[in-house]
Structure 1
Amino acid sequence: MTGQTWLWTPPRPTPAPVGVGQLLRAYRQAHGLTQQQLADQLGFDQSYVSKVESGRRAIHDISTLRHIARHLDLSPEDVGLAPGTLSDRRRDAARDAFTEQAAASQRAWRVTRDTLNRNRIKLAKAASGLYPETYRLFPGLLARPGWVWPRPLDIDEVGLRWADDVPEPVLTGGEPETDGARPLIADGGPYVRYQRYTRAMRDLDRPTLFENRLSFRLVDIASDEDAPRRLTGGVARPGGGDAGRPMLTFGHTTYFDPVDVCETVAHETAAAMMSGGLAWPSLPFRRRVGDPFDLASRPVLPSINTLTIRADRDSASFLLHRRSAGSVATAGGVYHVIPAGVFQPSGITPFHHRADFDLWRNIMRELSEELLGNTEHDGNSSAPIDYDADEPFRTFDEARRDGRVRVSCFGVGVDALTLFAEILTVVVIEADTFDALFADMVHSNAEGTVVSAGPHRAVAEGIPFTYATLRRLIDSEPLAPAAAACLELAWRHREQLMPGLRLRAAS
């Protein structure tokens, strides 16, 4: 591929500087300072100042705004705060030492968070080395034996079971072992930390998409014949199938509950790597979590990761997504399969629950949102989706019944960095059908940008599904572990997934 463009992502528009960012830029220009000089004056990282000035990061924390005002000799009004009374100013002066300590704690947290988002793939691969080799499915991805099946199964062969009386998880992310990942709160009194990692994210590094929605909590993976013995109280999904098929058991959770655990584990891992390397003594919370496959001890919200393949007569291509670290709470800054999203209903009513407790319907909603740019099925809908009549779901379903769309599941893995569960799936769409379904495919969506093979190539053309492309992606690019697994497994089972299409191993 010498001389050719490899992967190309169209630039996302940079928002105009607003608020404090505009103020910092004006101050710099008035005083003839570089960003690095201003960062040194404030005790911030230069990259943090750059993000604030560009509008990519907003400052909501009052103590940080006060810190900026004091160090730049500005009034509270200049940074958007109400003018303080004399007693307020005296109280602030008395608490300066603690405020500085809290500000330093939060700055260190931001630096670690930035390091985490820049190095997720490297950290995931390193974290997988902490576990026995028999559990390492692919670099950065773990799986218990039996969780990834010998062959891809049609999505309908994977059973779903609902359990109403699931015990509450033991771990919440608020344990003493998580203190290192939860910074101090400036206005909370001496030595008061954020109680939840997601609260720190909200104040210090809030992504664009950050809502605490009702979700489906994975609590067990078993075959249909032994699931009742492993988890009492389970109620099989209507239309349950043959004994011996994989059976996934679920209860309820919220989006923030697993993020509090998983991003804390990841943050701790990044901090340990920054301090000299990964070793169990430097990972107290990961040690507390223990068995990564113990789905009952922590809230586990699985992501459904779908490799989308366009299959032509003599070739195939697949879609790739560059996820924006400023937009998503997890797996930001990496290449990923598209669509990928957590397993959750489109609304909060019992009807939504019954209609949306279905892997294929979740995939269809993600296809609608991430490829076609639709936003109405985001988890906040009050009106249920009529999958038999509403578009594009009616057409998706019709194409699947006709065999023009085939949806398969490889199994379930666990991301070694975050310990998030990953359901690995693939959808193969005949070329003519793909072109009709996604004629209006978007270049970017709320979570990032669709990748093309070059600046003058249509995103719907995808990336060539060849062995050379897969190897280059998996070995050289920041590809999410779940995405790498989907690609590896799809290539391994290509003859079953795309019968009649001959893709040579050396192609």
Structure 2
Amino acid sequence: MTGHTWLWTPPRSTPTSVGVGQLLRAYRQAHGLTQQQLADRLGFDQSYVSKVESGRRAIHDISTLRHIARNLALSPEDVGLAPGSMTDRRRETAPRSPAAEQAAASQRAWRLTRDHLNHHRISLARAAVRLYPETDRLGSGLLARPGWVWDTPVDIDDVTLGWHDSAEAPTIRGDEPETAGSRPLLGGGGQQNRYQRYTRAMRDLDRPTLFENRLSFRLLDIGGDGTAGPSTDNHPSLSFAHTTYFDAVDVCETVAHETAAAMAGSGLSWPALPFRARIGDPFDFTRRAALPSINTLTIRHDRGGQASFFLHRRSAGSVATAGGVYHVIPAGVFQPSGITPFHHEADFDLWRNIMRELSEELLGNPEHDGSSSSPIDYDTDEPFRSFEQARRSGAMRVSYFGIGLDALTLFGEILTVVVVDADAFDRLFGSMVQTNAEGSVVTAGPNRSVTEGIPFTHSALRRLVDTEPIAPSAAACLELAWRHRETLLGMRMRAAS
């Protein structure tokens, strides 16, 4: 349950609040376009764009707003439409062929299932986890093998990363016959003319704002037995190779889509989940591109023994996965900031990925999206230099809990926590943003400062995990942090609020 004294999500600071005209101007300036070039992209007259930008012409027609959003790859919210309203419901005046009608119906059904998926990811994950043996479950929505989660938090520097240049290509790609039910028909051509990839359907039918096929790190193997000790050969180890973001999404969102369709139909059962059955053992990373996200619970800890944590409400219109849920902040796919060997060498590091996400999601800095040919200099570039200084001084402590798989999507979930002393937190994140490109930061009430966070108490944790739509990996981070609160905070926290 949510109330005015519980979780509150501020309205997102999007160009919608200042009108479509300023949105078009901001988009044009950000992309270096002239009014004529923007008009050409939209199929409008240049004078019309000029009038809209100047405020002399308002746009109230929903179909025109949908047209702008589609052609500029914006979310419905950005142009003032409700989420999920991109489908044009105008009547067709010209008759369509039976094949075209069939394709349109297939795409409408796909959109409805996609919408159901984005509104029920938590309940679907909790149902999907029950498909697997109890020994493979971690919490209410994650899967994990014994030893994947460690019995005590491990310093992030003690996690060994290995690399394999010659990893075999995955055999499961998301275009198998079992995925046909999750890939809608294209216009005309009958049952065989389907979208070949789930990401292609997303691009055309439900494109989120952040949707780029970036080079990423593919998880191959997980080492260590989960028991931390003085022996240096018993540290966690993770092995990787290259993949791309879409390679993982084509499998993960397809299996999630199939699950949503089954749940909305006859219910979850293995006969209704042919693609999940085709994947088989979810822990076999040789068969599919297993791409992990790094999920980091951020805790502010003050001298009086009080602590608070931070949550993110991810926008389903902005992100391709885990939209519409509460999540820890920051959270992001493990990937380099560019495609060159220099980027790979600099960014193949868990802590540096966490730093980039802290910069983007808490401070609102532009995403390091690979558009620069120069790698980040983590020793001199801000805010990374200050983050590293705080960590070396002990004011910022970063720990690894372990790894799991989201039961709904089978995405990898690296579970981490960063504890920051209050003085250092206020110095580093005093300008923390309320909204960012992926969603909004959550507070404990509408009149609370975003930097206060949510009290790190057992009652708040249980209320959140038991009653709110929180991502399974975020719930796991919170519960593990509470279990190890004495180790993480250097003191015993009270079990009640």
> TM-score under structure 2 normalisation?
0.85
Deviation larger for 14-23 or 413-422: 14-23
- Matching residue's letter, 2:282: P
CA-CA distance at 1:383 after TM superposition: 1.3
Of 278, 300, 313, the match for 1:288: 278
Partner of 2:361: 370
Residues 187 and 374 of structure 1: is their aligned pair in 2 closer, same or farther, counting only changes over 3 Å? farther
Contact 1:217 1:250 (8 Å CA) reproduced: yes
Partner of 1:262: 252
Of structures 1 and 2, the larger Rg is shown by: 1
Partner of 1:106: 107
Structure 1 position 504 matched with structure 2 position 484: no
Contact 2:84 2:115 (8 Å CA) reproduced: no
Structure 1 position 73 matched with structure 2 position 63: no
Partner of 2:450: 459
Distance 1:245 1:26 in 2: 56
Distance 2:63 2:205 in 1: 20
Superposition pairs of residues 94-493 of structure 1, within 5 angstroms: 96-187=97-188, 191-223=192-224, 242-313=232-303, 314-493=305-484
Deviations 1:142-178 (A, max 9, x none): 1011110111100011100000000000100000000
Question: What is the aligned length?
Answer: 444
Deviations 1:337-361 (A, max 9, x none): 0000000001111000000000000
Deviations 1:40-78 (A, max 9, x none): xxxxxxxx999998275686xxxx87x94xx3538xxxx
Contact 2:216 2:242 (8 Å CA) reproduced: yes
Deviations 1:452-492 (A, max 9, x none): 11111111100000000000000000000000000000000
Distance 1:11 1:118 in 2: 19
Residues 431 and 26 of structure 1: is their aligned pair in 2 closer, same or farther, counting only changes over 3 Å? closer
Residues 429 and 201 of structure 1: is their aligned pair in 2 closer, same or farther, counting only changes over 3 Å? same
Deviations 1:84-106 (A, max 9, x none): xxxxxxxxx6x611000000000
Contact 1:373 1:442 (8 Å CA) reproduced: yes
- Matching residue's letter, 2:386: T
Distance 1:2 1:446 in 2: 24
| Structure 2 portions without partners, runs of 5+ | 22-41, 44-58, 66-74, 226-230
Distance 1:328 1:392 in 2: 24
Contact 2:99 2:188 (8 Å CA) reproduced: no
Deviations 1:397-434 (A, max 9, x none): 01000100000000000000000000000000000000
Distance 1:22 1:192 in 2: 36
Distance 2:292 2:78 in 1: 31
Distance 1:490 1:121 in 2: 21
Distance 1:277 1:358 in 2: 41
Distance 1:2 1:175 in 2: 42
Partner of 1:54: 81
Superposition pairs of residues 17-28 of structure 1, within 5 angstroms: 22-24=60-62
CA-CA distance at 1:296 after TM superposition: 1.3
Distance 1:246 1:388 in 2: 26
CA-CA distance at 1:277 after TM superposition: 1.1
- Matching residue's letter, 1:322: R
Contact 1:128 1:139 (8 Å CA) reproduced: yes
Contact 2:310 2:441 (8 Å CA) reproduced: yes
Deviations 1:294-328 (A, max 9, x none): 11110011000000000012210000000000000
CA-CA distance at 1:190 after TM superposition: 5.5
Residues 22 and 2 of structure 1: is their aligned pair in 2 closer, same or farther, counting only changes over 3 Å? closer
Distance 2:486 2:479 in 1: 13
Cα RMSD for the two superposed structures: 2.6
SS in 2 for 1:54: coil
Contact 1:52 1:58 (8 Å CA) reproduced: no
CA-CA distance at 1:362 after TM superposition: 0.2
Contact 1:14 1:54 (8 Å CA) reproduced: no
Runs of 4+ in 1 over 6 A off after TM superposition: 17-21, 48-53
- Matching residue's letter, 1:10: P
Deviations 1:371-390 (A, max 9, x none): 11111512332111000000
Distance 1:14 1:128 in 2: 39
SS in 1 for 2:299: strand
Identical-residue share of aligned pairs (%): 68
SS in 2 for 1:472: helix
- Matching residue's letter, 2:167: V
Contact 2:222 2:238 (8 Å CA) reproduced: yes
Distance 2:348 2:320 in 1: 23
CA-CA distance at 1:17 after TM superposition: 7.4
SS in 2 for 1:292: coil
SS in 2 for 1:409: strand
Distance 2:146 2:341 in 1: 35
- Matching residue's letter, 2:158: E
SS in 1 for 2:138: strand
Partner of 2:53: none
- Matching residue's letter, 2:203: R
Partner of 1:227: none
CA-CA distance at 1:22 after TM superposition: 4.9
